[in-house]
Amino acid sequence: MNVRKLALEAIVKIIDKKAYSNIVVNEYLSKFELNSEDRALFTNIVYGTIQNLLTIDYYLEPYISKKKQKCWVKCLLYLSAYQIIYLDIPEYAIVNEAVAIANIRDRSIGSFVNAVLRNLLRNPLRSLEGLDEINYLSIKYSHPAWLVAYFLKDYDYETVEKILIENSNVKDGAIRVNTLKATKEEVMNTLTEEGIPFSDTDLVKNGLIIYNNITRNELLTSGKITVQDISSQMVAEVANPFENAKILDLCSAPGGKVAHLASIMNNTGTIFACDIYSHKIKLMEKSFARLGVKNVKTQLIDARNISNYVKEESFDYCLADAPCSGLGVLSHKVDLKYNIDLKSIEEVEYLQKEILDATCNLVKHGGYYIYSTCTINKDENEKQIAKFIQKHPEFEIVEERKILPFGYHIDGFYICKMRRN
C-alpha cells in the first residue's frame, strides 16, 4: 500500500471536504492494513502537513504558477514539501514518489510537480523578513493572521508566541486512574512491569503522563484507567463534590468528567448526564459500564431546556463544560484553526450565555456552579463569567483557574467554580 498516496487522499478530504483530521486519520488506519512503520509515517505526514499548512504554502508560493491548481495537486505539493522541510527522508525519494503519483493522473502535472519541488530544494527557504508582527507569527507558526490578532487582544506578544509554539508541538498522552476499580499505585506498578513508559504529575491526584499507545492495553479495556487530558481532570477536582450529592452535568459527552465525578463520590449520590445527541448518550453509557460507574442517569436533552422539566434549586452541583471555540486544544485538533472564524466564536459565546442564564436557578442556595471550557480567549471565559455575575449577583467566584497550553504542556483550559449565596 502506497503510504504517500493514502496520505494525499486523506489531506484532500481534510482540506477540500472540510473533514475532521482525526476522524479521517482513524478511518484510514482502520480501513487499510499498514505495518507500524507505515502507520507512523502516514499519521506524521497527514497531521504534520495540516499543522504547518500556511508555512508550507508560503515557502511554495514563489514556485507555483499563478494559474489556479487543482486541490489534489496543491495537496501533493504540500505533503511533499512537508517531508522535505520537516522530515529526515532522502529528498530524491520524496520527489520521485510525488512525480510518480502525479503521473498516474496526468504526465504534465508530473513535470510541474517535479519542477516546483526541485526549485524548493535548489533555493534557500523564503525569508520571513519584512513581514509585520502579526503576519510573521501567522506564517512562522501556521495560524491564520486574524487568529493571531485575536490572541493579541488578550495576551502580550511573548505570551502569544509561546501559545503558538505549543500548538505546533505534539503533546504526550494522559490517563486517569479510575479509583472505582484500581489504585494509582497498582496502575503504576502494572505499567512498570509491562515496560510502558510514564511519569507522575502533581497537577491532579490520579493522572499520569503516558508515552506509549495503550489502546489495546488490559488496563484500559478493563476500565482501570481511562484516557483523559490532565486539564480535563482538573474540572472534577475543582468541583470536589461530597458523597451522596445530586449533580447535573449539562453538556456531558464524551463523559470523562462525569465518570471522574462518580469516582470522587465513590458511586454515591446521583449524577444526571445530559447531551443533545443520542449516539453520544450511547457512547457514554458504554464507557460508564466499562468504568464501573453506577450512579449516573443519562438524559437526552438540550441544556437550555432543562429548566422546563426540573424544579429550581434541585442540585448541589451544576457542571457546564460549555460548547466553546476549542482554542486551547489546537495541538491535537490541527485543522480547527483553519475552520473557525470570529462569527462562530461569537455564536458560541451567545450559546454559553444562554446555558448559564437558563440553568443557574437549578443550583441550590449554598450549592455550586462549575463552568469550564477548553478555550483560552477571555471573551468565552473571564469576561463571560463577569457578565454572568453582574446579571446574577447571588453567585460569587470560589475558585478560578486558567491553564495556558505552554505552562505544563497540557491542553489550554478555563475552570470557574461559583457558589450560589
What span, in angstroms and rounded, lies between the C-alpha atoms of 299 and 273?
Answer: 6
* Share of the chain residues as helix, strand and coil, in percent rounded to the nearest 5: 50, 15, 30
C-alpha cell at 410: 497540557
What type of residue is 89?
A: I
> 207: exposed, middle or buried (C-beta count within 10 Å: 0-12, 13-18, 19+)?
buried
Nearest to 366 by CA among 401, 400, 399, 395: 395
Does an H or E element contain 248, and which?
A: strand 246-249
- Count of CA atoms in the C-beta half-sphere (13 A) of 206: 25
C-alpha cell at 258: 462525569
Active site residues: 374
C-alpha torsion 311→347→150→378, nearest 10? -10
Nearest to 392 by CA among 421, 367, 350, 414: 421
Question: Any bridge partners for residue 251, and if so which?
Answer: none
Angle at 67 between CA 66 and CA 68, to 5 degrees: 110
Question: Is the preceding peptide bond at 405 cis, omega within 30 degrees of 0?
Answer: no
Nearest to 304 by CA among 320, 324, 315: 320
Question: Any bridge partners for residue 321, and if so which?
Answer: 372
Residue with cell 508515552: 211
Count Cβ neighbours within 10 Å for each residue of 320-355 and write b for 16 or more, e otherwise: bbbbbbbbbbbbbbbbbbbebeeeebeebbebbbeb
Question: Judging by DSSP bridges, how do beta strands 225-227 and 173-177 pair with one another?
Answer: antiparallel
